[in-house]
Structure 1
Amino acid sequence: MSFRIGMGYDIHRLVEGRPLILGGIAIPFSRGLLGHSDGDAVLHAVTDAILGGAALPDIGELFPDDDPSWEGADSGRLLGLAMEKVAEAGYRVRNVDINVLAERPKLSPFKEAIRDRVASLLRVPPVDVSIKAKTRERLDAVGRGEAIEVHCVALLMEESKS
């Protein structure tokens, strides 16, 4: 049995007039993430991590922001399509570890819901999804509350060939 590790990253600017969606969960906040799709930086980082683990093209290549068919797309759908490609490559997700960096809003009350949603999308038990919320201690754009940044590491397992 072989294992592969993938790393995903995303950052989006916070803007007025958009809902804040993280890990497929709507978070009550006065601003949301700017993006061609729904701007869900958590699911974008997870998507890139699993694609990277399988040595597949990244999210920007598969779902380019100059393609109008992806405008406003639900990032859960993008992750589902990426999961299909990972399965076709012979792998499945074993676990993911996600760091969300945001000065505001405070994400602790939403971590369990995000974990459960990400686990559902990845078809793994919630215990195989780690979500940590951190701040940048008021340093840089994230620390000034201008953006939200996400890092994700994914462990993939080779599917047994029967």
Structure 2
Amino acid sequence: MNLPRTGIGVDVHAYAPEGSDRVLMLGCLEWPGERGIEGHSDGDVAAHAACNALLSAAGLGDLGSVFGTDRPEMAGASGTQMLQHVLGMVDEAGFLIGNVAVQLVGKRPRIGPRREEMQAAMSLALGGAAVSVSAATTDGLGFTGRGEGLAGIATALVVPHDHLPT
């Protein structure tokens, strides 16, 4: 019998240099006035961690194998585009997304005021799947605590199509 499967995903990006014109994209949202993130794509650590978790759960590899930096067509790709692509891959592999939970680690931006908006944007990109977002700081420890970048950690649950009630 095919059982539900879980996956875990991590993504980390450094902030762009001070004065850079990179816009912060996080949780499929633009964050005006916040320092952007470096990356081959838009650097959305929330979306990237969610993609990694979904790919892991469905046994489809990882972000690098699907969206590697060796693929010029992925330059500047948005987290929304990546989540939509992974949704298609997960479905094609015979799974439905049960839920995705994302934990963001960093000093800024403050997630609370836009949490529901982030969850809705990520859910929309994933075809309506349940998405929850939480955040933590590291009390000044490590690169996230020093304000050098952001990290995202995600878990995902996928359920085989043939496991669903009829």
Both structures adopt the same fold (TM-score exceeding 0.5)? yes
Which residue number corresponds to residue 81 of structure 2? Answer: 77
Aligned to 1:44: 48
Match of 2:147 in 1: 145
Contact 1:24–1:76 (8 Å) recurs in 2: yes
More displaced stretch, 45-54 vs 98-107: 98-107
What amino acid maps onto 1:10 in structure 2? D
User: 1:100 is matched with which residue?
Assistant: 104
Contact 1:138 1:144 in 2 (8 A): yes
Q: How many residues align structurally?
A: 160
- Between the aligned partners of 1:79 and 1:153, the Cα distance in structure 2 is 14
* SS of structure 2 residue aligned to 1:33: coil
Q: How does 1:1-162 map to 2 (within 5 A)?
A: 2-15=3-16, 16-124=20-128, 128-160=130-162
Question: What is the TM-score normalised by the length of structure 2?
Answer: 0.91
- Cα drift, residue 114 of structure 1: 0.4
| 8 Å CA contact retained: 2:34, 2:109 | no
CA contact (8 A) 2:13 2:39 kept: yes
**Does the 8 Å CA contact 1:102/1:135 hold for their aligned counterparts?**
yes
Contact 1:37 1:74 in 2 (8 A): yes
1:148 partner SS: strand
Deviations 1:117-153, CA, capped at 9 Å, x for gaps = 111112235xx32211111111111001110000000
Q: Which amino acid aligns with 2:153?
A: H
Q: Structure 1: give runs of 5+ residues left out of the alignment.
A: none
Give the SS at the match of 1:106: coil
- More displaced 10-residue stretch of structure 1: 83-92 or 23-32: 23-32
Question: What displacement does 1:155 show?
Answer: 0.6
List runs of 5+ in structure 2 lacking aligned partners: none
Q: Distance in 2 between matches of 1:67 and 1:25?
A: 24
Deviations 1:10-36 (A, max 9, x none): 010011321111111011234111000
Moved runs in structure 1, 4+ residues, more than 6 A?
A: none
Change (3 A) 1:146 1:26: same
TM-score between the two structures when normalised by the length of structure 1: 0.93
Q: CA deviation at 1:51?
A: 0.5
2:7 and 2:128 map into 1 onto residues whose CA distance is: 17
Which piece of structure 1 moves more, 73-82 or 146-155?
73-82
